Amino acid sequence: MSTDKENFELVAKTFRGLEEVLASELRELGAENVKIRKRAVVFESDKELMYRANFHLRTALRVLKPVFSFRARDEDQLYKEAYEFDWTKFLSNKTTFAVDGVLNSPYFNHSQYIALKVKDAIADQFRERTGLRPSVDTGSPDVRLNLHISGDNCTILLDSSGESLHKRGYRTAGYTAPINEVLAAGLVKLTGWRGESNFLDPMCGSGTIVLEAAMMAANIPPGLYRKEFGFEKWGDFDPSLYENVTGEELPERDINYKIIGSDISPGAVKIARANAKNAFLHRKVEFRISSIDDFVPPEGGGIVVVNPPYGERIKNNDPVFFHSLIGDNLKNKYAGYRAWILSGNTDAIKHVGLKPSKKLVLYNGPLECRFHEFEVYSGSKKQKKNYKT
Ligand SMILES: C[S@@+](CC[C@H](N)C(=O)[O-])C[C@H]1O[C@@H](n2cnc3c(N)ncnc32)[C@H](O)[C@@H]1O
């Protein structure tokens, strides 16, 4: 494994549509040679930056370290290459491990099967050399490997994050269809909000978007509540370097504006409040039980983000109704706010009845979504309903 000063390439994975946001986060952390890829950003790192990236990045799902690249066009070649690589650099008989596969290739069919081939090659190499093999643990392995195949280019990467970075550690429960924390952080960043105005989510569910916003505004690193990162189990783990990274004095910022989440469901708000408490954000975020119709936004303007119930993830008979309900509320009560709607329903979002000033395409996992911005002026009430986008 690398020494502290050695530089190497890292790959930070994210959702499609958040690559630019992640690249900016990396540049802010001081990363160099930052290059955007599909659902990923590549950058040059040393060990300290790798620890820092895992601890500070809000819009990365995983940070991976490529360790071995080769070409293969069938399973036998894949097995042979993986068998011949010296795995004792990263594993021992006592380490548990797991292999995940990501595939974009005409030469291979099943990502699980190719991952299994690599796992067999590693286990066989150890058995051959030592008579013993490391155990596979898919739930909580010591070392997580990622096999990436594009065409006949195969790369095996070490997962420095371990569990996905969206698992911040504050969410003990989610209400129906909670949004992924990484996506929620990406939404907040895309709105351009920097804690300098009010921030609202009147259909907040388990509160993910407002909690990510509050963490950002208060300058709380997303890794603060995590119990562990993958690199802590690596043979070259440097606890004092890691302590320097996590113990760094960060000025926690006061939030001088309102951050409010509200939902019609008392059950959702109960969960949101519990999550806020877990994240020590309960004094920074206010939660209300209210329908969007009854919700009264604070004066002074700001940002409102709404993630309405929609088809794929919540059984909802009338998405058009929800989108026009949101539009009516925006026009009637939110003058001075910039509103953003995240919707998985490309037709229904046309029924907001306001002309979008920005239209972004994002992915909530495999689900294609629209993230549209609407500027609400006092004259917006007069805008024609069902504006076709
Ligand atoms: C897609 S979920 C939001 C998920 C949320 N972003 C999260 O991360 O948990 C939509 C939410 O809208 C709420 N909702 C439905 N109708 C509502 C209404 N009329 N007023 C306010 N909230 C409503 C639901 O209770 C649900 O929690």
Q: State pLDDT tens for residues 115-145.
A: 999 999 999 999 999 898 889 998 889 999 9
Closest ligand 1 atom to Cα of 313:
1
| Cα–Cα distance measured from residue 312 to residue 162, given in angstroms and rounded to the nearest whole number | 29
H-helix or E-strand spanning residue 81: helix 75-84
CA distances from 297 to 238, 268, 292, 336 (A): 48, 19, 10, 11
Pocket test for ligand 1, best of 263, 287, 323 (most atoms within 8 A of CB): 263
Rounded distance from Cα 278 to ligand 1 centre (Å): 21
Pocket test for ligand 1, best of 170, 171, 180, 203 (most atoms within 8 A of CB): 203
Task: Determine whether 266 is exposed, middle or buried from the number of CB atoms within 10 Å of its CB (0-12, 13-18, 19+).
Answer: exposed
CA distances from 191 to 3, 194, 200, 377 (A): 39, 9, 12, 17
| Cα–Cα distance measured from residue 231 to residue 161, given in angstroms and rounded to the nearest whole number | 7
H-helix or E-strand spanning residue 22: helix 19-28
Domains of the chain: 8-159 (3.30.2130.30), 181-218+253-382 (3.40.50.150)
Rounded distance from Cα 360 to ligand 1 centre (Å): 21
Say how many Å lie between the first and final Cα of the chain, rounded.
Answer: 53
Sign of CA dihedral 381, 383, 388, 389: negative
Task: Specify the residue with its C-alpha closest to ligand 1, atom 25.
Answer: 265
Per-residue tokens: 321:
């109704």
Q: What is the pLDDT of residue 364?
A: 85
Residue 270 CB neighbours (<10 A): 16
pLDDT for 25-64, tens place per residue? Answer: 999 999 999 999 999 999 999 999 999 999 999 999 999 9
The amino acid present at 341, given as its one-letter code, is I
Closest ligand 1 atom to Cα of 202:
21
Closest ligand 1 atom to Cα of 204:
5
Question: What are the b/e assignments for 90-103, b being 16+ CB within 10 Å?
Answer: bbeeebbbbbbbbb
* CB-defined site of ligand 1, < 6 Å: 174-175, 177-179, 202-206, 208-209, 263-265, 268, 291-292, 307-309, 314
pLDDT for 89-98, tens place per residue? Answer: 999 988 999 9
Q: What is the pLDDT of residue 139?
A: 87
Alpha helices in 202-283 (DSSP H): 208-217, 239-246, 266-278
| Cα–Cα distance measured from residue 313 to residue 294, given in angstroms and rounded to the nearest whole number | 25
| Cα–Cα distance measured from residue 242 to residue 214, given in angstroms and rounded to the nearest whole number | 25
Rounded distance from Cα 131 to ligand 1 centre (Å): 56
Contact 342, 371 (CB under 8 A): yes
CA distances from 43 to 8, 14, 33, 37, 230 (A): 8, 14, 5, 11, 19
| Cα–Cα distance measured from residue 154 to residue 118, given in angstroms and rounded to the nearest whole number | 11
Backbone angles phi, psi at 161, to 5 degrees: -85, -35
The structure's pTM equals 0.93
Rounded distance from Cα 204 to ligand 1 centre (Å): 5
Per-residue tokens: 40:
């990923």
Closest ligand 1 atom to Cα of 308:
10
∠ Cα 103 108 114 (to 5°):
70
Pairing of strands 40-45, 62-71: unpaired
Contact 64, 165 (CB under 8 A): no
Q: Which of 302, 305, 297 is nearest to 360 (CA)?
A: 305
Task: Specify the residue with its C-alpha closest to ligand 1, atom 7.
Answer: 178
Rounded distance from Cα 143 to ligand 1 centre (Å): 38
Residue 196 CB neighbours (<10 A): 13
Contact 213, 199 (CB under 8 A): yes
| Cα–Cα distance measured from residue 384 to residue 273, given in angstroms and rounded to the nearest whole number | 38
The ranges of the chain with pLDDT < 50 are 1-2, 312-315, 384-389
